[in-house]
Structure 1
Amino acid sequence: MFSTVLLLTGTSVVQASTPPVISGSARFTVLTPRVIRMEYAEGGRFEDAPSLVFATRTGAPAVDAKVSHEKGWLVIRTSDITLRYKEGTGVFTADNLGIVSSKAKTSFNWHPGQKDTANLGGTARTLDQVDGDRHAADNTPLDLGDGLLSREGWHVVDDTGSFVFGNEKLPWVHRRACEGCTDWTFFGYGHDYAAALQDFALLAGREPLPPRYAFGYWWSRYWNYSDSELRDVVADFVRYRIPLDVLVIDMDWHRTDGLSSVHPRDDINGQTMGWTGFTWNRALFPEPERLLQWLRGQGLKVTLNLHPASGVLPHEESYGRFMGDLKADPAKPLAFEAADPAYMAALFHAVLDPLQHMGVSFWWLDWQQWRESKALPGLSNTWWLNHVFFTHMQQQGEQRALIYHRWGGLGNHRYQIGFSGDSIISWGSLAFQPRFTATASNVLYGYWSHDLGGHTFRDESDPATRRIDPELYIRWMQFGAYSPIMRTHTTKNPDLRKEPWRFAPAQFDALRHTVLTRYTLLPYTYTMGRKAFDTGISLVRPMYYAWPEDEKAYRSSGQYMFGDDLLVAPVTAAADADGFAKQDTWLPSGKWFDVTRGRTREGGRIVGGRYRLDDVPVFARAGAIVPTNSDPTHSVANDDGARTIVVYPGKSQQTELYEDAGDDEGYRGTAFARTALATEWSKHAVRLRIAPRAGHYAGMPTTRRWSVAFMASAMPSNVTVDGQPVKRVDGDADLTPGTWRLEGRTLALQVALPVHDFANAQMVEVTWPNDAPDVDGLAGQMRDVREAVEWLKSHWTEFGGIPDELSEAAQADRLIDYHPERFAQEVAAFRARVSQLDQSLEKGGLPADMRAQFKARASRND
């Protein structure tokens, strides 16, 4: 506990780890240059135990704060804020307490009772039965509450009366000695939102890094699967070469005695019968141990759904062990009580831990969001179960802690991952989820997992509305690929089938490509997950974090930054009759690379786009360096370690690749490694340096197969690795270590580096000729022409076929692959053919209306 020090005169320097400043019944603790805790407790009954929100009562080391007493006022000055309290005047009021900014870009003058009129929001407990941003039942808007960030430049967390933790091995919840004593923590940051989030992470705990497998694809469906059916589903993922890492088995894994939607009945604890269960349904899973062993052999992690509100009842197989642990009378079943340490210890020891030892990787908790503890009224079961389940798993030490449950309130960011619940299937729901996900980072809740594709129709009784719209589902999945967690799920509806192989070929291709995109980006995504742990800046974050002074950053709620370098604006509206969806994206100042179009864009404006079903509006910072998987068909469990560093054109940049063992808690200490990556661009050349790896973790490989992909590249004149020339191969040859090629379709210059030791650096240098053609936007243009010709072939059946000029233009990429030595000539020939397309079609007799449609498809440049 803190010792009490009363400062009456003079000026001194306070460290955050030293005793706070006390003036009568008021206590002030400087935690960071921007954060001060303010308490008022008669008789000095201050609270030193950590609370549910604040995991620590000490802040940053070596925070200089000048303390003085000026004409009856206690004054505390830091480099960023100044607090004044009129001593001896009692509880905090607008007349005796105030905090002003010292150097913040947005000045403020805060007093108790002041309303925050510009808070940027937090998150909600659940999206259950939410359609768009409104509750389906009464059309009221979903309340995202207050987050830590405000355009006013300050925020106060009122921790008065909150529960606190004891010093038990698994820290347990307790009431405060003085529940009515004032306990406020003031954050004053101006528009330095990153600093505010980092301060909160310092005081409330870091945003844990999920296991690496959690960043892969999750398959989930509310369905009474059998052992055989689950094996068939997994086999289909293998057959169609769609990677999968997590298999979610919903509540039908257990017995559902008495469950009925027509005539529901309550059990002896007053809950609807059948939802709670801890005993395998042996009719569906005759030997669950063998199924779990088989799934583990497939490299899959498994989570089971729990609805624990009824507690452990007499029909459960584990009932005798559970009651024995509690030394309770088996004739008197106990009500569920999460705040009872003995009850929860028995639940884990007798019921849940044996299931985990059988092969369950982590738990999906459900159906607790409306209940409070009976033992501790006011304690949210959702909040508390997150803490207990996560911390119990963490203390087991066998694998990295993970809980999959709903948001319980401020401080719950310490227990990922969030299950957002049963949202309504609609375009409106999809359009809302990017904003919902990004805004949650304002409370550090950076790992929302949504029911991609939506959970249930608004009117399940109407057969006409019970079938999934493939376009909506594909767009939702595309958002999922650029989300914290990628998980599909539906209600128990036979018409809601989301397996990719059940869709038409073009739709299947789009879905499979979307999942592969997720796995391609996994090294980058995991690196950004580590950054969230280090800094408090979540993987998915609003635009105003980096551009707080631009009004458009606050209005662009349908887009977000996906890590540091990728801006994503998911398509959330249906396409027009021609199959194109329109989407506007605000690009902040600077240059951006349009990944879909393969071209550089000038920022500081809104750009429009027309997107095909398999397009996603993604923009990379100019010069961005993005570490990726070389083969995205490999799941995390089967990762072969090959990495491709994607380099976008632009300016010199630097980043890193983060790695660890993937599924242990060692990352919280020193068991991890980082590899620095940096580029230097000049007018006709680029140099990429891969630094020696720094750090160590168990099972770390000693060598790696690196590749580099320089996007939007012309044919180079020279490619070297560590000063040695690298051999060019043609477009049909396999890329082997120590070779390079320019891929015609994407215009990606691919360099396969010689296998090397991690202890040594590698340097890749590319030089282009002075007269190299400008290829900015060329890959996108070639694709447009190619797909426009495909469309024309299926819509124009007149004798004579497609003009030769069109056929040749549509194969420009192939001609580049066949004749890389004629790259400049082939580019010029393609552009000449494109300039004459309209005339060629007119000469060939194509009607004017079809020519217009062809032209709109062949050139999507805005």
Structure 2
Amino acid sequence: MKLNLYKWLFVTCIAMPSVLFAQNYQQSKEGVKAVIDGVSVNIVFYSPAIARVEKFPVGHHFTKNSLAVIKQPENVPLTVTRNSNVVAIKSSKLTAYLNLATGKVWFETPSGQALLSEKDYGAQFSPMDDKGKQMYEVRQAFKLDTTEVIYGLGQQQNGKLSQRFEKVFLQQGNTRVCIPFFQSIKGYGLYWDNYSPTTFNDNKQETSFDSERGDNIDYYVMAGRGTDGVVAEMRTLTGQVPMKPLWAFGFIQSRERYKTQFELVEVARKYRELKVPIDGVVQDWQYWGPDSNWNAMAFDPKTYPRPKAMIDSIHRMNAHLFIVSWPGFGPKTPQYAEFSKKNMLINFDTWPPNSGAKPYDVYNPEARDIYWSYLNKGVFSLGPDAWWLDSTEPDHINIKESDWEQPTYLGTYRNWLNAFPLQHTKGVYEHQRETLTQKRVMLLTRSAFAGQQRFGSDTWSGDLGSNWENLRRQIPAVLNFGLTGLPYWNVDIGGFFAGSFRQGGGAMNPDFQELYVRWMEFSTFTSMMRSHGTDIPREIYQFGKRGDWAFDAQEKCINLRYRLLPYLYATGWNVTNQAASFLRPLAADYAGDTKVLDLNTEFLFGKSFLVAPVIEKGAKSRSVYLPTNSSWFDFWTGEQIAGGKAIERQAPIDVVPLYVKAGSIIPWGPKVQYAAEKKWDVLDIRIYPGADGDFTLYEDENDSYNYEQGKYSTITFHWDNQQKKLTIGDRHGDFPGLLKSRKFRVTIAPALKDLNEDSNTYKTVAYTGKSKTVVF
């Protein structure tokens, strides 16, 4: 039997007995290989929990080096058996099956629980000429259980948590981060390793990935039991996450745009005068001058006459500076000239319109070297702290069909376009690390791809319109983004385009103030709390003065963020050290509660908090579902509430419904104006009883990579609920600047109506690094 145009022949295969097509297979130390109806099928175990399936037409010669996957196959003990036409390849955590007659592959747990199955004859190869090279449109169909819930696909703006029965075109764009990955509530994940435009389609008949170009069908299945476990396996496959600097968990102020160095410095100065905490400001576009000079990576001497003095001024105020950099260059820049001479531009139009700007070839390692050489010399050498990598999709305007066929270092642009943000961030991250190790790389990016978490990337949700529907959509958007393995995500507080609110006072427009405050309450519980937008300036003093409700509500959010810094930093360490996540769906911990499987208006923040943002205009309360098999404390009142039911929580404008899981231990930091202002020599340790609990306090130098050499410390806290006893364990580790002695003030489930008041019902523990116990 032969493949006709490399598509399976359904009619022939159904009409003839499958035993006639039984094939031999070859076993290797990593899996099995077989040729079935003219298609090579390879199953390779990369670890006991991760298997790769690769299919391609016999005789098609190619070399594939994955951009996203960095893991190499381990030496996995495998048991391979054959029963009639079916070969089983079994590890300690995953079993793969291959039907030698039909080519179908499916997966189970070692105990026999069904995970994922291809459809019979579900692989398709449609020949395509790719600028003279033989390639294919590649498609693979799977069959999911009828009631199965799936998550992922990156950051989509469809407002859905479960992506079941959705059709999504996966091509990077402003506000859409496209990652061909989904995970199932059954405890497995599937990563489709292809970078061309891909259609994900799930319907009652099948679930499929269909990519416009590919040499092969290439996907990875990972068994993780729960959502957190699948995320951990995806990180094993595509890379772990470096630590963000402590300051980056503070408040960041931005605007489109600050037009002079004096305007930018004045923003930081006003926050300091008001004593409103802040840790970062952002210099957005056009500091280089006219659009023909777009992204020149040099400051216009008219508006930024002394950029080094500007940066030094920001630093003297104990703040940090992001500076924007784009992948496109205007025609009058030296970068454009050099890239053009070396054929390292991708020849299509990018932002800004009518400027002649073109993106550089991010897939070319030499081009990435050149990019950094200009960025380092013109900007980084002056001492900024972080990068705003805008347009990392990239922007593609005045689109022509020939644009997709433009050559890049790896092949035509169509084949690689979705990996553009991955390669661009790779270049900046790796070069900065080579240049300076004492400053952690901090990249704010507008797009992402699988594996980008390993490059210090914190992705924002793009240029959203300022409206309530967009606010609501960001909750499922960030949860699905995180479930693909990328933990760091943020959003423009208030949305980007706010022109509709200009009439009525802009930042003094009560409707915009309400939307902005509610958006800030949500953003308080994302991995970066950042104000940004166009049309209306967003600095806190634009909304009035202290005593005005819009000012006071924002200040309350910002102060709450800073009091939670020890919890945030410890969660960051869990992300780095334990492959954990920042924002998580309720299904992560309560998959047995069917009411939370598609709940898209609430989320878990780390391991302890449940956040239910207000997302409706004019709402003074909202319904909050507290999952079953749990008990919760209202963060603001200290009231304990049993789970398994919905409650109506009053939510005045300065209150976000916030709950702490019973058994949680929350460290409460000092009141500060910036993240590193005070040592954590006195920390409140807040116990929420009702169950046993653990927490690990993590500390290091705050902004270097010395933690990778073991220069950090941890202190583990354990709450024994039955004995009402807190055990503070021995301190482990050391680093320069470590506090040798400190005080912990331990208290039980306090109400927090006023964030500026510390609990006075605590027990003080003098701690010098040796275990202590506190009994209540």
What TM-score do you get using the length of structure 2 for normalisation?
A: 0.77
Task: Pick from 97, 105, 111 the counterpart of residue 103 of structure 1.
Answer: 111
State the SS of the aligned residue for 2:654: coil
Alpha-carbon deviations, 1:428-486, whole Å to 9, x = none?
22222222112211111221120011111364786788846222211111111111110
Alpha-carbon deviations, 1:29-55, whole Å to 9, x = none?
223343211224567999997512211
1:354-433 equivalent positions in 2, closer than 5 A: 354-369=378-393, 370-371=395-396, 374-375=407-408, 376=411, 377=413, 378-380=415-417, 381-396=420-435, 397-415=437-455, 416-433=457-474
State the SS of the aligned residue for 2:555: helix
- 1:183 paired with 2:215, answer no
**Post-superposition offset of 1:81:** 3.6
Alpha-carbon deviations, 1:610-629, whole Å to 9, x = none?
11222121111113101221
Task: Pick from 735, 746, 749 the counterpart of residue 761 of structure 2.
Answer: 749
Unaligned runs of 5+ in 1: 1-6, 164-177, 260-272, 714-741, 767-862
Q: Distance in 1 between matches of 2:672 and 2:157?
A: 32
Using the TM superposition, name which of 641-650 and 113-122 deviates more: 113-122
**Post-superposition offset of 1:765:** 2.8
Partner of 1:859 in structure 2? none
Alpha-carbon deviations, 1:517-565, whole Å to 9, x = none?
1011111111112212233331101011111121111232111110111
Q: Distance in 1 between matches of 2:690 and 2:548?
A: 37
Does the CA-based 8 Å contact 1:437-1:446 persist in structure 2?
A: no
Does the CA-based 8 Å contact 2:282-2:322 persist in structure 1?
A: yes
- 1:71 paired with 2:110, answer no
- 1:764 paired with 2:774, answer yes
Task: Pick from 582, 598, 618 the counterpart of residue 539 of structure 1.
Answer: 582
**Post-superposition offset of 1:287:** 0.8
Instruction: Give the 3 Å change call, closer, same or farther, for CA 613–746 of structure 1 in structure 2.
Output: farther
Unaligned runs of 5+ in 2: 1-22, 123-140, 198-212, 346-355, 397-403
Q: Distance in 2 between matches of 1:293 and 1:104?
A: 62
Q: Distance in 1 between matches of 2:55 and 2:583?
A: 38
Partner of 1:852 in structure 2? none
**Post-superposition offset of 1:221:** 0.8
Alpha-carbon deviations, 1:100-139, whole Å to 9, x = none?
3443766555445224474533255687999xx999xxxx
State the SS of the aligned residue for 1:638: coil
State the SS of the aligned residue for 1:221: coil
Q: Distance in 2 between matches of 1:368 and 1:513?
A: 33
Partner of 2:151 in structure 1? 121
Partner of 2:740 in structure 1? 702
Instruction: Give the 3 Å change call, closer, same or farther, for CA 277–157 of structure 1 in structure 2.
Output: same
Does the CA-based 8 Å contact 1:68-1:74 persist in structure 2?
A: yes
Partner of 2:570 in structure 1? 527
Q: Distance in 1 between matches of 2:98 and 2:693?
A: 47
Q: Distance in 1 between matches of 2:73 and 2:521?
A: 42
Q: Distance in 2 between matches of 1:322 and 1:404?
A: 24
1:242-261 equivalent positions in 2, closer than 5 A: 242-255=276-289, 257=290, 259=291
Does the CA-based 8 Å contact 1:307-1:366 persist in structure 2?
A: yes
- 1:347 paired with 2:371, answer yes
Partner of 2:240 in structure 1? 206
1:604-623 equivalent positions in 2, closer than 5 A: 604-623=644-663
Instruction: Give the 3 Å change call, closer, same or farther, for CA 148–414 of structure 1 in structure 2.
Output: farther
Q: Distance in 1 between matches of 2:434 and 2:454?
A: 15
- 1:158 paired with 2:182, answer no
Instruction: Give the 3 Å change call, closer, same or farther, for CA 479–308 of structure 1 in structure 2.
Output: same
- 1:448 paired with 2:456, answer no
State the SS of the aligned residue for 2:236: helix
Using the TM superposition, name which of 518-527 and 588-597 deviates more: 588-597
**Post-superposition offset of 1:606:** 1.0
- 1:692 paired with 2:730, answer yes
Does the CA-based 8 Å contact 1:306-1:364 persist in structure 2?
A: yes
Partner of 1:310 in structure 2? 329
Alpha-carbon deviations, 1:778-806, whole Å to 9, x = none?
xxxxxxxxxxxxxxxxxxxxxxxxxxxxx
**Post-superposition offset of 1:572:** 1.5
Alpha-carbon deviations, 1:76-117, whole Å to 9, x = none?
123444323244x5xx733xx333344376655544522447
Q: Distance in 1 between matches of 2:216 and 2:25?
A: 26
Does the CA-based 8 Å contact 2:665-2:688 persist in structure 1?
A: yes
Using the TM superposition, name which of 34-43 and 386-395 deviates more: 34-43
**Post-superposition offset of 1:181:** 3.3
Q: Distance in 1 between matches of 2:304 and 2:106?
A: 64
Instruction: Give the 3 Å change call, closer, same or farther, for CA 229–745 of structure 1 in structure 2.
Output: closer
Structure 2: which amino acid aligns with 1:236?
Answer: K
Compare relative contact order (CA 8 Å, sep 6+) and give the higher one, 1 or 2. Answer: 2
State the SS of the aligned residue for 1:764: strand
Does the CA-based 8 Å contact 1:326-1:343 persist in structure 2?
A: no
Instruction: Give the 3 Å change call, closer, same or farther, for CA 160–276 of structure 1 in structure 2.
Output: closer
Instruction: Give the 3 Å change call, closer, same or farther, for CA 54–699 of structure 1 in structure 2.
Output: same
**Post-superposition offset of 1:220:** 0.5
Does the CA-based 8 Å contact 1:337-1:374 persist in structure 2?
A: no
- 1:558 paired with 2:601, answer yes
- 1:502 paired with 2:513, answer no
**Post-superposition offset of 1:403:** 1.6
Structure 1: which amino acid aligns with 2:639?
Answer: R
Does the CA-based 8 Å contact 1:412-1:445 persist in structure 2?
A: yes
Greater strand fraction, Structure 1 or Structure 2: 2
Tell me the C-alpha RMSD between the 2 structures. 4.0
Does the CA-based 8 Å contact 2:284-2:323 persist in structure 1?
A: yes
State the SS of the aligned residue for 1:677: strand
State the SS of the aligned residue for 2:379: helix
Q: Distance in 2 between matches of 1:210 and 1:127?
A: 27
Does the CA-based 8 Å contact 1:712-1:746 persist in structure 2?
A: no
Does the CA-based 8 Å contact 2:46-2:73 persist in structure 1?
A: yes
**Post-superposition offset of 1:645:** 1.2
Q: Distance in 2 between matches of 1:364 and 1:346?
A: 19
State the SS of the aligned residue for 2:721: strand
Q: Distance in 1 between matches of 2:460 and 2:609?
A: 25
Does the CA-based 8 Å contact 2:609-2:658 persist in structure 1?
A: yes
Task: Pick from 257, 264, 278 the counterpart of residue 297 of structure 2.
Answer: 278
Q: Distance in 1 between matches of 2:505 and 2:358?
A: 45
Alpha-carbon deviations, 1:166-192, whole Å to 9, x = none?
xxxxxxxxxxxx952332222345x52
Does the CA-based 8 Å contact 1:128-1:423 persist in structure 2?
A: no
What is the percentage of aligned positions where both structures have the same residue?
20
Structure 1: which amino acid aligns with 2:366?
Answer: A
Structure 1: which amino acid aligns with 2:234?
Answer: F
Q: Distance in 2 between matches of 1:234 and 1:533?
A: 30
**Post-superposition offset of 1:419:** 2.2
Q: Which has the larger radius of gyration?
A: 1
State the SS of the aligned residue for 1:254: coil
**Post-superposition offset of 1:360:** 1.5
Instruction: Give the 3 Å change call, closer, same or farther, for CA 479–761 of structure 1 in structure 2.
Output: same
Instruction: Give the 3 Å change call, closer, same or farther, for CA 485–128 of structure 1 in structure 2.
Output: farther
Does the CA-based 8 Å contact 1:480-1:487 persist in structure 2?
A: yes
Structure 2: which amino acid aligns with 1:114?
Answer: F
State the SS of the aligned residue for 2:183: coil
Alpha-carbon deviations, 1:294-343, whole Å to 9, x = none?
212222221111233125x5456x88999999999xxx999733233333
- 1:223 paired with 2:242, answer no
Q: Distance in 2 between matches of 1:334 and 1:437?
A: 30
Does the CA-based 8 Å contact 2:695-2:716 persist in structure 1?
A: yes
State the SS of the aligned residue for 2:221: strand
Instruction: Give the 3 Å change call, closer, same or farther, for CA 31–295 of structure 1 in structure 2.
Output: same
**Post-superposition offset of 1:218:** 0.5
1:658-807 equivalent positions in 2, closer than 5 A: 658-682=698-722, 686-712=724-750, 749-754=761-766, 756-758=767-769, 760-766=770-776
Q: Distance in 2 between matches of 1:598 and 1:406?
A: 39
